């Protein structure tokens, strides 16, 4: 909903993403914050001058978050807009990561070309698994895409051929990203790399869903029979959605490889796929801001709330335990708490806010604009 008193005088203005001064203000505000944040870390310009209130670990967390965000924006195109489920997003990221790693190190292609090539390769792999969407929907499609999640890591870890080296179960070491001869190997540089790519990818996705392509996707999600009778080639657009979604996974995977510098099949297992799906649902599938909210919430839970919860639990552990017992219990808390918490939050969201945080945010915005007449 638009705030009262905002009028458009032409359709271009009416269709723009940023409509009001408030929109511009927040965009500029967050852009400035995101861009200047690393300058205040230890390796930043201001950090070297002594103004360092941003810990290096925060940059690392945000970099990981940005990579996740790219992948989930892709998943949002598929699940949120086209209504096709995929449980293979981590496997597609794996294809992107390995392609980019192999292309840069073994084929000596510069990173700036290797990343798009890796993305397209991933897209094609995604397209192949998307072919299943011709015949099946919903749960059955989920099972069909689950095949990707099992086949791809298995294939990569058991490949022993000579054409490329994939490193089997141990994986590969990857060179840092190199753009125009500059090696991006500090937290700060990686942060900027991921930030720029994530912003570009987000804007591209945002544009896709507000033009012909996106409306065709949404039409398929909302009513595929009607879409077909109104001239949309449903199968083609479903496969295209799988392709695009995998391209996003490919870019995310490629970045991940060059940021982490080591990749192995274990890092892309089904838990990752399901977590990404969960983040999208919590954030709000089918909303442009959904992935952002989802990732932010996940990072908040994973990097802060879990430590907080663990400390509380450890504090209230009965003191009669021996040191050994206590240590074992702490270790099991460390392993068991993240999935337990994430699972419970997902369940809570599915019950109380099934359309996700982004939807709640829209309601809050609408209520704010209707004040003082709103009830929410």
Partner 1 sequence: MIISPLLHVDHISLSFGGIRAVQNLDFQVRPGEIFAIIGPNGAGKTSTINSISGFYRPQQGRIYFKGQDISDLPTYKRAPLGIARTFQNIALYTNMTALDNLMAARYIYMKSGLFSGAIYWDILKYLPQSLEERIRKVWQPAIWEEVENRHVVEEIIDFLEMAHVRKMPVGTLAYGLRKRVELGRALALEPELLLLDEPMAGMNVEEKEDMARFILDIHEQRNTTIVLIEHDVGLVMDIADRIVVLDFGQKIGEGTPEEISKDERVIEAYLGEQGA
Binding site for partner 1 (CB under 8 A): 2, 10-13, 15-17, 204-205, 207-208, 210-216, 218-219, 221-223, 225-234, 240, 244, 286
Which tokens go with 318? 């009965």
Beta carbon of residue 1, minimum distance to partner 1 (angstroms, whole number): 8
Q: How far is the CB of 375 from partner 1 (least distance, A)?
A: 16
Our CB check for partner 1 shows the closer of 141 and 232 to be 232
Least distance from partner 1 to the Cβ atom of residue 219, Å:
5
In the bound state with partner 1, the residue whose beta carbon lies nearer, of 57 and 233, is 233
Which stretches within 76-134 are classed as H helix? 89-105, 111-130
Q: Are 206 and 81 in contact (CB under 8 A)?
A: no
Shortest reach from residue 201's CB to partner 1, in Å: 10
* Choice between 226 and 313, CB closer to partner 1: 226
Give the shortest CB-265-to-partner 1 separation in angstroms. 31
Q: How far apart are CA 164 and CA 107, in angstroms?
A: 9
φ/ψ (deg, to 5) at 222: -80, -35
CB nearer to partner 1: pick between 81 and 129:
81
- What is the CB neighbour count within 10 angstroms for residue 371? 8
CB-based contact 94:152 (threshold 8 Å): yes
Cα radius of gyration (the chain): 22
Q: How far is the CB of 209 from partner 1 (least distance, A)?
A: 9
Nearer to partner 1 by C-beta: 268 or 359?
359
Question: CA torsion 289→211→33→291, rounded to 10°?
Answer: 20
Cβ contact 303:116 at 8 Å: no
Cβ closer to partner 1: 77 or 152? Answer: 77
31, β-bridge pairs = none
The beta strand positions in the chain, using DSSP E, are: 172-173, 177-179, 182-184, 262-263
């Amino acid at each position: 909903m638009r705030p009262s008193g905002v009028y458009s005088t032409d359709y271009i203005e009416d269709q723009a993403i940023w409509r009001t001064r408030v929109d511009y203000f927040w965009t500029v505000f967050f852009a400035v914050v995101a861009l200047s944040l690393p300058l205040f870390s230890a390796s930043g310009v201001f950090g070297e001058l002594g103004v360092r209130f941003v810990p290096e670990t925060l940059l690392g967390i945000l970099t990981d978050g940005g990579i996740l965000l790219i992948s989930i924006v892709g998943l949002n195109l598929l699940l949120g807009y086209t209504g096709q489920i995929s449980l293979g997003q981590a496997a597609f990221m794996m294809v992107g990561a390995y392609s980019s790693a192999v292309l840069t190190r073994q084929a000596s292609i510069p990173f700036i070309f290797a990343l798009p090539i890796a993305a397209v390769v991933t897209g094609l792999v995604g397209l192949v698994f998307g072919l299943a969407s011709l015949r099946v929907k919903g749960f059955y499609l989920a099972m069909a895409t689950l095949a990707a999640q099992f086949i791809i890591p298995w294939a990569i870890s058991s490949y022993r051929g000579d054409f490329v080296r994939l490193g089997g179960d141990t994986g590969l070491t990857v060179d840092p990203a190199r753009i125009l001869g500059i090696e991006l190997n500090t937290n700060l540089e990686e942060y900027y790399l991921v930030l720029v790519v994530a912003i570009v990818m987000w804007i591209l996705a945002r544009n896709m869903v507000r033009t012909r392509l996106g409306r065709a996707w949404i039409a398929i999600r909302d009513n595929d029979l009607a879409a077909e009778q109104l001239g949309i080639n449903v199968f083609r657009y479903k496969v295209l959605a799988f392709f695009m979604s995998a391209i996003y996974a490919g870019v995310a995977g490629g970045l991940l490889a060059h940021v982490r510098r080591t990749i192995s099949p274990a890092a892309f297992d089904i838990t990752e796929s399901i977590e990404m799906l969960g983040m999208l649902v919590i954030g709000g599938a089918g909303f442009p801001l959904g992935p952002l909210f989802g990732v932010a919430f996940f990072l908040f839970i994973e990097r802060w709330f879990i430590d907080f919860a663990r400390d509380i639990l450890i504090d209230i552990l009965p003191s009669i335990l021996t040191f050994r017992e206590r240590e074992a219990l702490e270790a099991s808390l460390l392993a068991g708490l993240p999935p337990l918490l994430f699972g419970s939050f997902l369940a809570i969201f599915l019950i109380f806010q099934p359309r996700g945080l982004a939807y709640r945010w829209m309601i809050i915005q609408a209520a704010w604009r209707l004040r003082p007449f709103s009830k929410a």
